[in-house]
Amino acid sequence: MSGEERVAILTPTARDGPLTVNLLAKVGVRGVVARDGRQLLRLIEEGVEGAVVAEEALSSETSRELRTVLEHQEPWSDLPLIIFAASSDRTRARRTVESLAPHGNVVLLERPVSTRTLLSSVRAALRARRRQYAARQLVEQLAGAVRARDEFLAMLGHELRNPLAAMLVASDLIQEKREPVRSQAIIARQVRKLSRLVDDLLEVSRVSSGKISLQRAPVDLRDIVRKSAEVLQFSHHRPDLRLVLSLPEQEVLIDGDALRLEQVMGNLLSNAVKYTPDSGSITVELEVSKDRAVVRVRDTGVGIPGGLEEQIFEPFAQVASSFHRSEGGLGLGLSLVRGLVALHGGRVRARSEGPNRGSEFIVELPAPGQLRLPPPPPVPAPAAAPRRTVLIVDDQQDNREALVMALEEFGHRVREAADGPTAVRVALELMPDAVIVDIGLPGFDGYEVARRIRAALGERPHLLALSGYGQADAVERALRAGFDQHLTKPVELRALLHSLSAPRPSLKPSPPP
């Protein structure tokens, strides 16, 4: 509904119309007089919140056309009609109302009508119309959500099929004993790409639901920006792209989570690379303004169409005009940036002069004074990795087999089990140094496995939960069940080997990726 509420008025005489308009104006309602039935229909089609009509002003033809208009209203619409009937011709008035009532919200008032009754009826009609507009807005929002869901699912299918297609061909080549080295490299790259897609989905969900807590400490934002730029140059292989870095000479200390701030910078820089054409440039500037640290990331890329500077921070949003340049992704990076910056008490905004004129993203973060960097932790002397007796528990054969091969390659003695009861039985026979347990298992789940092994063997084995559930409550539940550490799938092999070699009880719950 736009600004002012309008009520169409059709009266049998030229004098009655303006009088009705003046009455409605006293209660803040704008009345619009229709000269005849055709103008009444035009006003209704243009959009009014109700109509006040004298029955004798409705010709038979206007009544039929009005009925047709009411029949073809949108599902949310039920236009209020207030019809005045002369007490001398009630039968004709009732026939008119009966013909219109099945298709509209019709109220019949018999003249003479008091001013109070007229205004009360109009107010009731307008309240009903407002509820209809609210229903329309909800329907439009739901329809928009469904469209966004369908677009997202289509994009997700596309982004998943691409790496899977490459992995399938590469695995076929390995089976045929052709190009094994190149094929393994392809599989490794595509697995990491899939992991990033899943991580982005989970991270946005955690940020939006408030399930991310920052590990705050004094950090040098200058160092984070520099490292992110180095990672960008190493990982994207774009020698044609010029990167200009402008950093202050002194430290820029803020109270923040270094890992999350690296995510912010990584996503902004990756976004700039994705949408900047060959021979373009990216400029990164860091400055301190009063009590704020300001990072600016500018590119010479495809730019942002006018009016979309806020929309691009919504989940699944991408710049449509540049979709053909996309290197993949679900349109989640900028949404994650906004959420993480907000958690740090800052804000991020985008600016662009339009399509093909580049973009600028500006991140502002609080930079309180009197911060000091903590001393670097001592570097432990390297030690030979101990060889362990390890029990692998997972109901997925390929997962078990991959872990068994990997751990045996590094000298560990490995046994395996595919369900909860078998896992407990083998553990009691084997007395392993470590047990790596999937959570979703037949028989009983990994939590029960941990509880029974702890009850029988005490503190002897390292218990590691290896699960696809990475939420904070899943980590806490694993620790309560007796696990020493929770690792979220997919886990890097070196991280798993480090967990096996770490002396207990120094193992701590690892945050989900």
Provide the domain count of the chain: 4
Asked if 163 and 190 count as a contact pair (C-beta separation under 8 A), the reply is yes
For residue 508, tell me if it sits in a domain. no
For residue 382, tell me if it sits in a domain. no
For residue 372, tell me if it sits in a domain. no
- The amino acid that residue 188 corresponds to is A
pLDDT in tens, the chain (513 residues): 444 689 999 988 888 889 889 989 888 889 999 989 899 999 998 889 999 988 888 888 888 888 888 888 888 888 999 888 876 566 776 777 777 877 778 888 887 888 888 899 999 999 999 999 999 999 888 888 788 777 767 767 766 777 787 788 888 888 888 788 888 888 887 887 787 777 777 777 777 666 677 888 899 999 999 988 887 766 666 778 888 999 998 889 999 998 889 889 988 998 898 888 888 899 999 999 878 999 999 999 999 888 788 888 876 665 544 433 444 555 678 888 998 999 999 999 999 998 889 999 999 999 887 777 777 766 555 555 578 899 999 998 888 888 898 899 889 999 999 999 999 999 999 999 999 999 989 999 999 999 999 999 998 899 999 887 777 678 889 999 999 999 888 888 888 888 887 665 433 444 444
Name beta bridge partners: 464: 436, 485
Tokens of 261: 């701030």
Helix, strand, or coil (residue 184): helix
CA 240, distance to chain mean position in Å, is: 33
Same-domain pairing of 105 and 128:
yes
Same-domain pairing of 130 and 18:
yes
Same-domain pairing of 456 and 345:
no
For residue 250, tell me if it sits in a domain. yes
Asked if 415 and 432 count as a contact pair (C-beta separation under 8 A), the reply is yes
Count the helix, strand and coil residues of the chain and give each as a percent rounded to the nearest 5. Answer: 50, 20, 35
Question: What is the extent of the structural domain holding 467?
Answer: 389-501
Q: Specify the length of the chain in residues.
A: 513
Same-domain pairing of 308 and 345:
yes
Cβ neighbour number for residue 375 with a 10 Å cutoff = 6
Report how far residue 504's alpha carbon sits from residue 207's, in angstroms, rounded to the nearest whole number. 32
Helix axis angle, 446-457 to 420-430, nearest 10°: 20
For residue 85, tell me if it sits in a domain. yes
pTM above 0.75, yes or no: no
CA 383, distance to chain mean position in Å, is: 44
For residue 171, tell me if it sits in a domain. yes
Tell me, what CATH number does 102's domain have? 3.40.50.2300
Which region, left, alpha or beta, applies to residue 482 given φ > 0 means left and ψ of -120 to 50 means alpha?
A: left
Same-domain pairing of 70 and 23:
yes
Same-domain pairing of 231 and 200:
no
